Amino acid sequence: MREEFRADLQIVSQLLVDMAEGVRAAMRQATHALLTADRRAAETVIERDAEIDDLYRHVEERVCDLLARQAPVASDLRAMITALHVAADLERMGDLADHVAKTALRRHPSPAVPAELRPIFIDMAATADRMAVKIGSVLAKPDADLAAELDRDDDTMDDLHRSLFGVLLGEDWPYGVETAIDATLLGRFYERFADHAVNAGEHVVYLITGETPPAAS
């Protein structure tokens, strides 16, 4: 029974690692589509979001199957509930990559991000990518220290988000309201991506240390 549980848990963990990799790839490609007005890349992200959704369903099915067959208690049960939380965060991160891709597509062939904002979005995307990599790592090999780094990455994201508004609200903003609206929504997509990465990380820390996770943010 115990060994069977371990094997099942291993399968669920692998699905979560696959989700993290899929989400990372999606956000990288969405950013590429955004910054280079690459229509094909944007379409690929949108098409492949269904694969992340499928992985989410597989995690849920596996967890339900495992709960029904093995009726785990205590820390094993906690691991199962945590897997559901992490999967939900990753699924949502995939949606946010999809939203970035859709924004790129809506403005195509014009770039959705004007030159003045490129450096901020490049940094936001790099931060998001670092966070997606860390989530993948802590899911593959639990590491509370690495998971805790996500908080600092999130601070970086929040700083970038503030600088974005600084540029948008500067007296010399030349692009008008439409571009400001796109930039506001894009900024929110990257920032929410980071929030979900932090949440997922906190759930993993909870699993490792027993510390109370937040009610989500």
Site residues for a copy of itself per CB under 8 A? 53-54, 56-57, 60, 63-64, 67-68, 71, 73-74, 77-78, 81, 84, 88, 91-92, 95, 165, 168-169, 173, 176-178, 180-181, 184-185, 188, 215-217
CB 127 within 8 A of CB 157: yes
Of the pair 11, 64, the CB lying nearest a copy of itself is at 64
Return the sign of the alpha-carbon dihedral for residues 107, 128, 48, 56: negative
Of the pair 63, 207, the CB lying nearest a copy of itself is at 63
Q: Could you tell me the smallest distance in angstroms from the CB atom of residue 145 to a copy of itself?
A: 26
Q: Could you tell me the smallest distance in angstroms from the CB atom of residue 141 to a copy of itself?
A: 25
CB 62 within 8 A of CB 87: no
Q: DSSP string spanning 51-78?
A: HHHHHHHHHHHHHHHHHHHH---HHHHH
Report the interhelical angle of 74-107 vs 118-140 (nearest 10°). 160
Q: Could you tell me the smallest distance in angstroms from the CB atom of residue 106 to a copy of itself?
A: 11
Q: Could you tell me the smallest distance in angstroms from the CB atom of residue 84 to a copy of itself?
A: 7
